[in-house]
Amino acid sequence: MNDPLPDRPRVRLKPKANARALRHGAPWAYAGDLVTDRRTRALSPGTLAVLQDAAQTDLGLAAINPGSRIMARIIDRDSAAVVDQDWFAARLTRALALRERLFDAPFYRLIHAEADGLPGVVIDRFDAVAVIQPNAAWAELHLDLLADALARVTGVTTILKNAGGRARALEGLDDVSAVLRGAAPDAPVPVPMNGATYMADLTGGQKTGLFYDQRPNHAFAARLARDARVLDVFSHVGGFALAALANGAQSALAVDGSAAALALAEAGADAGDVATRFTTRQGDAFDVLAALGAEGAAFDLVICDPPAFAPGKQALTAGLRAYERVARLAAPLVAPGGYLGLCSCSHAADLPRFHGACARGIGRAGRSAQLIHTGFAGPDHPQLPHLAESGYLKALFFRL
């Protein structure tokens, strides 16, 4: 879709809305901040409009979705910007320059939504394949332009659209994935990271197929794992376990509820020549943690990396209880002097709240602890200073 510059609609903030925050870099205006007259409510999802303050001063070019709680996403501070292939290429080029400086191989998150200037858009790169998650209506409308620019800037030959995930539903979008360019891989793609090899299912796996965000936390855990017995709970495709084995762990047990994910983890262990030291156990993580405790199992390093227990504020209380429970069940499995890593990808559970839940769980397990490291997402997942949600990942490492 090409963006016609003339006759763009105007959408205005209410007098009490925080226009200053938007001027200073905040990327969103919520439905309650906007004057939603009949004309505004009639705009089709993804319409590009000029966002103005109550005095009708332009704040920038925004993508509007009257059906979303995030009703306006600022995509350019220039309200006259033309959103064409060159516009997308400029943002992709800027993002690519950072990743190429950071990484020797083309395996990384290329676009991290608002923080890379493309609100609601996630792009993960797997060498010659890129997977796009267009999680906002405006990105869905401009998907052909984005894909053309992506191929032009990066040289990738296959581009996949992943339409899974909660965010698209909130925008009123469908869940139909597609092949946009090239041909979908007919087998999992091997991804080298921290000395390990991970197998990413780009068409049937979770999210885009692999979680790049934990890369630096995998690396830190691997430093603790030399000659260690490792337990990796909520392991997915072997995240912490395979990095630990590649860096000298004595053994690693991966626990996950998904048989498909554990099969990919086993394939990664084979590819990395560490299969003889790697075992898996399928089941509900809480049940497996309790069972291991009843068995008297002990590990030198235990890492728990669960899904988002608190994806929004309404789930915060229950989510914090779940994080506390994970810590309470995991701590008894750590041998004296061993290490416990606890992770959260819930943006609603900020670092102090998550820390408090972990500390309560460890205490309830009767263990004392030293906090030795706090980790976050890697630099290919940059944070937008004005958007707390972009700093969602936390990893706390304790010595018990």
47 pairs with which residues across the strands? 64
193 in the same domain as 152: no
- DSSP per-residue codes, 54-91: TT--EEEEEEE-TTSSEEEEEEES-TT---SHHHHHHH
176 in the same domain as 205: no
380 in the same domain as 268: yes
286 in the same domain as 177: no
339 in the same domain as 219: yes
Nearest to 397 by CA among 318, 262, 302: 302
Q: CA-based Rg of the chain, rounded to a whole angstrom?
A: 22
pLDDT of residue 158: 98
232 in the same domain as 300: yes
pLDDT of residue 11: 96
Q: At what angle do helices 316-330 and 285-295 cross, to 10 degrees?
A: 20
Give every residue of the chain whose pLDDT is below 50, as ranges.
3-4
Tell me the catalytic residues: 345
Query: Into how many domains does the chain fold?
Result: 3
394 in the same domain as 279: yes
pLDDT of residue 377: 97
Kindly state the tokens that stand for 171.
Answer: 């925008």
354 in the same domain as 239: yes
281 in the same domain as 154: no
Residue 4, domain member (yes or no): no
pLDDT of residue 14: 95
Q: How far is CA 177 from CA 122, 164, 227, in A?
A: 14, 7, 43
Q: Calculate the dihedral angle through the C-alpha atoms of 279, 282, 285, 287, rounding to the nearest 10 degrees.
A: -110
Q: Tell me, what CATH number does 259's domain have?
A: 3.40.50.150
Q: Decide which of 27, 44, 76 is a domain's last residue.
A: 76
pLDDT of residue 206: 81
Q: What is the mean pLDDT of the chain?
A: 95
Residue 1, domain member (yes or no): no
Residue 53, domain member (yes or no): yes
